Amino acid sequence: EVVEGGGNILLPGFVDLHTHLREPGREDTETVESGSRAAARGGYTAVFAMANTAPVADNATITDHVWRLGREVGLVDVHPVGAVTVGLAGEQLAEMGMMADGAAKVKLFSDDGKCVHDPVIMKRALEYSKGLGVLISQHSEDPRLTVGSVAHDGPTAARLGLAGWPRAAEESIVARDALLARDAGARVHIAHASTAGTVELLRWARTQGIEVTAEVTPHHLLLDDSRLETYDGVNRVNPPLREESDKLALRAALAEGVIDCVATDHAPHASQEKCCEFSQARPGMLGLETALSIVVETMVNADLLDWRGVARVMSERPAQIVGLDDQGRPIEVGEPANLTIVDPEQAWTVKGEELASRSDNTPYDSMTLPGTVLTTLLRGRVTAQRDGLSNVTPNGGAGEWL
284 binds, among Zn ion, ligand NCD, none (CB under 5 to 8 A by kind): ligand NCD
Buried b (16+ CB within 10 A) or exposed e, 369-393: bbbbbbbbbbeeeebbbbeeeebee
Note whether 273 binds ligand NCD by CB under 6 A.
Answer: no
Candidate residues 111, 243, 265, 297; the one interacting with ligand NCD per rule CB under 6 A: 265
Site string for ligand NCD, 17-36 (x = CB under 6 A): ---x----------------
Choose the binding region for Zn ion from 36-44, 58-66, 264-272, 319-327 (rule: CB under 5 A): 264-272
Site string for Zn ion, 91-130 (x = CB under 5 A): ----------------------------------------
CA–CA gap between residue 338 and residue 281 (Å, rounded): 37
242 binds, among Zn ion, ligand NCD, none (CB under 5 to 8 A by kind): none
We find the least distance from the C-beta atom of residue 267 to Zn ion, in angstroms, to be 5
The catalytically annotated residue of 225, 260, 265, 343 is: 265
CA–CA gap between residue 285 and residue 264 (Å, rounded): 9
Report the sign of the C-alpha dihedral through residues 224, 17, 317, 121, in that order: positive
- Asked if 144 and 116 count as a contact pair (C-beta separation under 8 A), the reply is no
Query: Which of these, 162, 173, 180, 265, lies nearest to 215 by C-alpha position?
Result: 265
If you compute the radius of gyration of the chain from its CA atoms, what whole number of angstroms results? 20
Return the axis-axis angle of helices 60-73 and 32-41, rounded to nearest 10°.
50
How many amino acids of this chain bind Zn ion (CB under 5 A)?
2
- Asked if 282 and 276 count as a contact pair (C-beta separation under 8 A), the reply is no
Helix residue ranges per DSSP H, 91-159? 96-101, 119-129, 155-159
Q: Assign residue 267 a region (left: φ > 0; alpha: ψ between -120 and 50; beta: otherwise).
A: beta
52 binds, among Zn ion, ligand NCD, none (CB under 5 to 8 A by kind): ligand NCD
We find the least distance from the C-beta atom of residue 20 to Zn ion, in angstroms, to be 6
87 to 126, contacts with ligand NCD by CB under 6 A?
112
Candidate residues 80, 233, 283, 371; the one interacting with ligand NCD per rule CB under 6 A: 283
Note whether 52 binds ligand NCD by CB under 6 A.
Answer: yes
Helix, strand or coil for residue 51?
Answer: coil
113 or 399, CB closer to ligand NCD? 113
CA dihedral 273, 88, 22, 237 (to 10 degrees): 50
Catalytic residue check, 265: yes
Candidate residues 126, 237, 341, 378; the one interacting with ligand NCD per rule CB under 6 A: 237
Note whether 284 binds ligand NCD by CB under 6 A.
Answer: yes
Note whether 213 binds ligand NCD by CB under 6 A.
Answer: no
How many amino acids of this chain bind ligand NCD (CB under 6 A)?
9
CB atoms within 10 A of CB 167: 20
283 binds, among Zn ion, ligand NCD, none (CB under 5 to 8 A by kind): ligand NCD
Which are the contacts of 271, defined by CB distance < 8 A and separation ≥ 6?
A: 359, 360, 361
We find the least distance from the C-beta atom of residue 112 to ligand NCD, in angstroms, to be 6
Query: Which of these, 79, 33, 27, 89, lies nearest to 57 by C-alpha position?
Result: 79
Candidate residues 64, 265, 273, 316; the one interacting with Zn ion per rule CB under 5 A: 265
**Under the rule (CB under 6 A), what is the footprint of ligand NCD?**
20, 52, 112, 237-238, 265, 267, 283-284
Q: Which residues are catalytic?
A: 265
